[in-house]
Amino acid sequence: MTVLVTGGAGYIGSHMVWELLDAGESVVVLDRLSTGFEWAVAPEAKLVVGDVADRDLVGRIIRENKVDAIIHFAGSIVVPESVADPLGYYENNTCKTRTLIETAVREGVPNFIFSSTAAVYGGAGLEPVREDARLAPESPYGLSKLMSEWMLRDAALAHDIRYTALRYFNVAGADPKGRTGQSTPGATHLIKVACETVLGKRPFMQVFGTDYPTPDGTCMRDYIHVSDLAAAHRLALQRLRDGGESLIANCGYSHGYSVLEVIDSVRRAFGHDFDVRMGDRRPGDAAAVVANSELARKELGWTPQRDDLDLIVNDALAWERILTTKNSVRN
């Protein structure tokens, strides 16, 4: 049995590949390398460069490798970009996912795990949000993912396929063994931006808004270590293979940190202060987005191992240093 990981050359996908290989799984990666990197794919995995909507290619991969599960990460993830290019996002995230599900059904792949997002909820409050909360995506990105969840739901009712959709909160950090990490140039994620700034890759960074209705006035998010997220997928895979029913579950730690708390953690990890400027609100940011993750803990038997902001930041910073070395060797 082989697991097909789409987007396995990207940030979360490359961690998933290591997680599966460490557990003794056979892995094939399908990635068109538009934002991912060939070097990010573990050498023990087979890499096929191509598109998830290429029916013939995906069909061949499934048959030749006896694929019994697809973990689908490939997709576009930048919220403001989705506002500027909604049709591009619906094409890449929704239409291509539809084709991939269709191929999975046609080829008889029984298990499907899907990368969803907390963005399906829209602006949440300070209270941790449960899976049955109102779904009100505020961006084409969030809606493109929600539509994919719905397609999976309906396909699972009609065909012999079961799925797990995991709604990620703020994924951060890097492989504790330093094998992979967030490598996208120009990333906008807070911890990545702060780590780049302390290492001098950016002259300064900005805090987007200090007048939110939160304890220190800055936005709060539920930061989850990427390795814990990969572990949740492995458990979801096991559960589906054991005959578990389809499931949609949040992946977060159920508590939030403010932007200023994250910046303090980066200061502690680096040992020095750096240039942080207070700025205006960024359009579209919710004051707080925190998961209620009871369902994932109960259904998947998921017990996070790295629920500690300093640990997340330390791993992110360690990877940023490795990336500096990699890039200087390449240049």
Give residue 328's identity as a one-letter amino acid code.
S
Instruction: Tell me the CA distances in angstroms from 214 to 80, 127, 204, 287, 327, one per residue in order.
Output: 23, 11, 24, 7, 39
Residue 207 in contact with ligand UFG, rule: CB under 6 A? yes
Which of the stretches 86-94, 148-156, 205-213, 246-254 binds ligand UFG when contact is defined by CB under 6 A? 205-213
Q: State which residue, 79 or 109, has the beta carbon closest to ligand UFG.
A: 79
Please report the beta strands in 13-169, taking only residues with DSSP state E, as ranges in sequence order: 26-31, 46-49, 67-72, 111-117, 162-168
Lookup: tokens for 209: 């808004």
**Minimum separation from the CB atom of position 258 to ligand UFG (A):** 9
Whole-angstrom distance, CA of residue 72 vs CA of residue 24:
20
Size of the site for ligand UFG (CB under 6 A): 21
Map residue 28 onto helix, strand or coil.
Answer: strand
Residue 225 in contact with ligand UFG, rule: CB under 6 A? no
What is the enclosing helix (H) or strand (E) of 320?
Answer: helix 309-330
Place of tokens 């970009």: 81
**Minimum separation from the CB atom of position 224 to ligand UFG (A):** 10
Site string for ligand UFG, 118-147 (x = CB under 6 A): xx----------------------------
* Chosen residue from 77, 129, 235, 236 binding ligand UFG by CB under 6 A: 77
Residue 290 in contact with ligand UFG, rule: CB under 6 A? no
Q: State which residue, 190 or 317, has the beta carbon closest to ligand UFG.
A: 190
Which of the stretches 206-214, 230-238, 241-249, 315-323 binds ligand UFG when contact is defined by CB under 6 A? 206-214
Core vs surface per residue 103-137: b (16+ CB within 10 A) or e: bbbebebbbbbbbbbbbbbbebeeebbebebeeeb
Residue 153 in contact with ligand UFG, rule: CB under 6 A? no
**Minimum separation from the CB atom of position 198 to ligand UFG (A):** 13
Are 260 and 310 contacting, i.e. CB atoms less than 8 angstroms apart? no
Out of 11, 89, 121, 141, pick the active-site residue: 141
In the residue annotation, 141 being an active-site residue is answered as: yes
Map residue 119 onto helix, strand or coil.
Answer: helix
- Would you please indicate which residues are annotated as catalytic (active-site) residues? 141
Q: Residues interacting with ligand UFG, by CB under 6 A?
A: 77, 79, 117-119, 169-170, 188-190, 193, 205-208, 219, 221, 259, 282, 285, 289
